């Protein structure tokens, strides 16, 4: 090992240590997001009562069971809830090591750096949701596929192939036991395998090979059946507790697919087709730039890339003209295909074609898979009308590896003593500095600011923590967790279930016309003289004090919001909208 290689490996180790440190530092400082509070409460119910029932609104059982075990060992608190996401998020870096043959040592170190510091991956590694687990097990499945392919091409049969298939099956089932978008992932994998079958011309002479019982055909088929069996058995254990409960598995899949199809149909959290692109551009600019360059460099059609780019550009111009035409002449839209096709597929069609052609034509199958995985994830999630920022991790994961591989390869060949090299180096340093600044600013200073696009609106502002401190302080002056609490706001239940999980004397959905005598009273607040808070205040004795708070805040963005102050500091020219509430409390003298 030469000095350069040694330095890179030492840098890799240092980045791993940094990744763990960044994820564990002040892990419990941010108050629980609405979704964290909900899944935290359901995990507590599993930990405390041993009860769990699959509800696709709150996803699969994996995270509940592993976190319940953390509660047994460390107690039920915010830190123990977020500890496993932090560990799994940092552990993704270890999975880059088996890929170093393909991404090279420099690419491995750069990918580790991107994953460690990425604003998106760091934020959701400090967040009690399934998405960082999804990223981890996706990477596990990729590593298993790569190692299996290596053993497949070796002469003679290696039983490690069975081991990698088992691990891949376990990873796929873990994905399905985490979140329902695993079914999207499996569909994309199946389509990739079909493209691979076409690329390898596996259909040639297939009937003859079947008749002659070709060993080279039946061994992969047997391995495929083994993989299916592993998936079915583990899936059944997760969702039914039995080894092969087909009816139970059918019910689980039907519940998942029907629920999320309905959410897509009603556009519960809808958004534009380009929803994820500004997020990636704002937070992950070096990854976006070098990922796109990497896709263009490693993609298909070596000698025809310029021609392909011109065709794609012409297509987008035509699509723009058609959309402008239908905007001014709506009647004309009835005769144009864009009226009958989802806009995400219309706009991203060239990228989808490029991803498919990369699988069919590219010389390097590993890079072509990364391109395919990035493009198909972007297209699918741009189409699905459940636009939430954490889903950005799905296209971002392969894009990070592409960007790191391309950048690592270019840096090893680049001459920095030239003027062009110096300018390139300065630009690279500036972009990476902004990348790191954005991550630190988001994760350690601005972590509840709704002006941050990565922060979904259901995140309470940090002043919510003052409400919690006051609430717990007053309850300690009375009967601690037996203190009576009256809550009139019926929209606060989900947010409070976690924080009041130990309180046994909580009165929910109390009428504002009731008699209020509890030391702690929570009431919805709104603009106007006759808000619930003002009505309740008139009914209280003078020894009650008032504390205003909010359970969530949000911005409706305008084009004029995007300026230098916003890009650097997320400054807005107005206060956010809020769902406000009031705590009336009576200190004990």
How far, in Å, CA of 245 to CA of 240, rounded? Answer: 7
Measure Cα distances from 414 to 356, 409, 425 in Å.
Answer: 31, 9, 10
Residue 552 DSSP one-character state = E
Residue 216 pLDDT greater than 80, yes or no:
no
Q: Is the pLDDT of residue 343 over 90?
A: no
How confident is the model over 217-245, as a mean pLDDT? Answer: 92
Reported confidence tier of residue 338, pLDDT bands at 50, 70, 90: low
Q: Report the chain's terminal Cα–Cα distance, integer Å.
A: 72
Residue range 355-360: average pLDDT?
A: 91
Cα(27)–Cα(127) distance, integer angstroms: 9
Q: Pairing relation of β-strands 520-524 and 485-487?
A: parallel
Phi-psi region of 52 (alpha: psi -120 to 50; beta: other; left: phi over 0): beta
**Average pLDDT value for residue range 548-577:** 92
* Predicted pLDDT at 333: 64
For residues 42 and 58, the answer to whether their CB atoms sit within 8 Å is: yes
CA distance 27 to 295: 35
The HSE-up count of residue 177 (CA atoms within 13 Å, CB side) is: 24
For residue 162, the model assigns a pLDDT of 94
Give mean pLDDT, residues 401-427: 84
Give the closest residue to 397 by CA, choosing from 136, 196, 58, 148.
136
Which pLDDT does position 418 carry in this prediction?
75
Token look-up 């490996």 returns: 9
Q: Is the pLDDT of residue 140 over 70?
A: yes
Phi, psi angle pair for 10, to nearest 5°: -65, -40
Tokens 């106007």 belong to 528
Work out the pLDDT band at 266, boundaries 50, 70, 90: confident
Q: Which residues pair with 289 in a beta bridge?
A: none
pLDDT at 335: 64
CB neighbours of residue 540 within 10 Å: 16
User: Residue 52: its pLDDT value, please?
Assistant: 86
Crossing angle (nearest 10°) for helices 305-328 and 343-361:
170
Across 32-41, 421-430, 454-463, the highest mean pLDDT is recorded for 32-41
Look up residue 78 and give its two tokens.
């915010």
Query: CA 401 to CA 114: how far, in whole Å?
Result: 9
The secondary structure of 433-495 as a DSSP string is HHHHHHHHHHHHTSTT-TTSTTS-TTSPPTTHHHHHHHHHHHHHHTTGGGS-EEE--TTSHHH
Closest to 36 measured CA to CA, from 460, 442, 381: 460
CA separation, residue 371 to residues 245, 285, 292 (Å): 37, 18, 9
pLDDT digit string (tens) for 304-317?
777 888 888 898 88
Beta carbons within 8 Å of 400's beta carbon, 6+ residues apart: 111, 114, 115, 118, 121, 284, 287, 291
Residue 125: C-alpha distances to residues 25, 80, 151, 334, 393 (Å): 12, 13, 33, 46, 11
Average of pLDDT values for 2-27? 94
453 close to 279: Cβ distance less than 8 angstroms: yes
Which is it for the CA torsion 54, 60, 61, 63, positive or negative?
A: negative
**Whole-angstrom distance, CA of residue 331 vs CA of residue 507:** 57
Residue 79, pLDDT > 80, answer yes
Give per-residue burial for 65-91: e unless 16+ CB within 10 Å, then b: eebbebbeeeebebebbbbbbbbbbbb
Residue 337: pLDDT over 70: no
**Rounded CA separation 485/307 (Å):** 69
pLDDT for residue 203 is more than 90? no
**331 pLDDT more than 80:** no
Least confident of 97-111, 156-170, 312-326, 393-407: 312-326
192 contact partners, CB below 8 Å, separation of at least 6: 359, 369, 372, 373
From CA 64, how far away is CA 82, in angstroms rounded?
A: 12
Rg (CA), the chain: 27
Work out the pLDDT band at 339, boundaries 50, 70, 90: low
Angle at 237 between CA 74 and CA 152, to 5 degrees: 100
Q: How far apart are CA 534 and CA 16, in angstroms?
A: 53
SS3 assignment, position 549: strand
Q: Is the pLDDT of residue 340 over 70?
A: no
pTM for this predicted structure: 0.94
Q: Domain coordinates of the chain in residue numbers?
A: 3-299+362-413+421-444, 464-585
- With bands split at pLDDT 50, 70 and 90, how would you rate the model's confidence at 29? very high
pLDDT of residue 332: 65
Residue 275's Cβ-side half-sphere holds a number of Cα atoms within 13 Å equal to 25
């Amino acid at each position: 090992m030469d000095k350069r290689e040694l330095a890179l490996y030492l840098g890799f180790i240092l980045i791993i240590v940094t990744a763990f440190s960044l994820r564990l530092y002040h892990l419990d400082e941010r108050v629980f997001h609405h979704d964290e509070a909900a899944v935290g409460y359901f995990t507590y119910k599993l930990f405390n009562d041993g009860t769990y029932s699959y509800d696709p609104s709150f996803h699969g059982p994996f995270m509940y069971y592993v976190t319940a075990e953390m509660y047994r060992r460390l107690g039920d608190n915010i830190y123990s809830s977020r500890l496993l996401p932090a560990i799994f998020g940092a552990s993704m870096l270890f999975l880059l090591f088996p890929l170093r043959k393909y991404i090279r040592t420099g690419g491995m170190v750069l990918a580790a750096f991107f994953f460690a510091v990425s604003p998106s991956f760091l934020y959701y590694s400090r967040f009690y949701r399934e998405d960082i687990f999804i990223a981890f097990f996706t990477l596990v499945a990729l590593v298993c596929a790569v190692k299996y392919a290596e053993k497949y091409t070796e002469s003679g049969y290696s039983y490690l192939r069975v081991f990698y298939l088992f691990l891949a099956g376990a990873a796929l089932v873990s994905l399905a036991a985490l979140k329902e978008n695993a079914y999207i992932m499996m569909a994309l994998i199946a389509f990739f395998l079909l493209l691979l079958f076409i690329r390898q011309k596996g259909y040639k002479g297939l009937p003859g090979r079947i008749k002659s019982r070709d060993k080279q055909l039946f061994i992969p088929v047997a391995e495929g059946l083994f993989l299916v069996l592993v998936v079915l058995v583990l899936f059944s254990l997760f969702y039914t507790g039995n080894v092969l409960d087909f009816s139970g598995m059918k019910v689980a899949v039907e519940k998942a697919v029907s629920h999320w199809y309905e959410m897509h149909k009603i556009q519960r959290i809808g958004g534009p087709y380009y929803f994820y692109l500004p997020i990636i551009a704002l937070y992950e600019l070096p990854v976006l730039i070098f990922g796109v360059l990497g896709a263009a460099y490693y993609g298909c059609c070596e000698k025809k890339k310029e021609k392909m780019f011109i065709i794609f550009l012409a297509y987008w111009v035509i699509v723009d003209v058609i959309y402008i035409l239908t905007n001014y002449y709506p009647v004309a839209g009835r005769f144009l295909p864009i009226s009958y096709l989802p806009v995400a597929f219309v706009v991203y069609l060239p990228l989808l074609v490029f991803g498919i052609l990369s699988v069919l034509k590219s010389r390097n199958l590993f890079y072509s898979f990364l391109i395919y995985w990035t493009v198909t994830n972007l297209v699918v999630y741009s189409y699905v009308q459940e636009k939430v920022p954490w889903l950005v991790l799905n296209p971002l994961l392969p894009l990070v590896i592409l960007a790191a591989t391309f950048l690592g390869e270019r840096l090893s060949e680049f001459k920095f003593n030239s003027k062009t090299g110096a300018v390139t180096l300065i630009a690279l340093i500036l972009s990476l500095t902004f990348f790191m600044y954005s991550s630190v600013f988001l994760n350690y200073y601005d972590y509840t600011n709704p002006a941050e696009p990565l922060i979904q609106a259901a995140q309470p502002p940090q002043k919510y923590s003052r409400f919690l401190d006051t609430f717990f302080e007053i309850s300690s002056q009375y009967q601690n967790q037996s203190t009576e609490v009256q809550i009139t706001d019926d929209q606060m239940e989900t947010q409070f279930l976690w924080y009041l999980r130990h309180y046994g004397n909580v009165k929910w959905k109390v009428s504002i016309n009731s008699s209020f005598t509890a030391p702690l009273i929570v009431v919805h607040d709104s603009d106007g003289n006759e808000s619930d808070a003002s009505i309740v205040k008139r009914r209280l004795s003078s020894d009650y004090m008032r504390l205003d708070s909010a359970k969530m805040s949000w911005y409706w963005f305008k084009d004029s919001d995007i300026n230098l102050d916003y890009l650097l500091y997320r400054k807005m020219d107005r206060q956010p909208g809020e769902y406000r509430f009031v705590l009336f409390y009576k200190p004990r003298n």
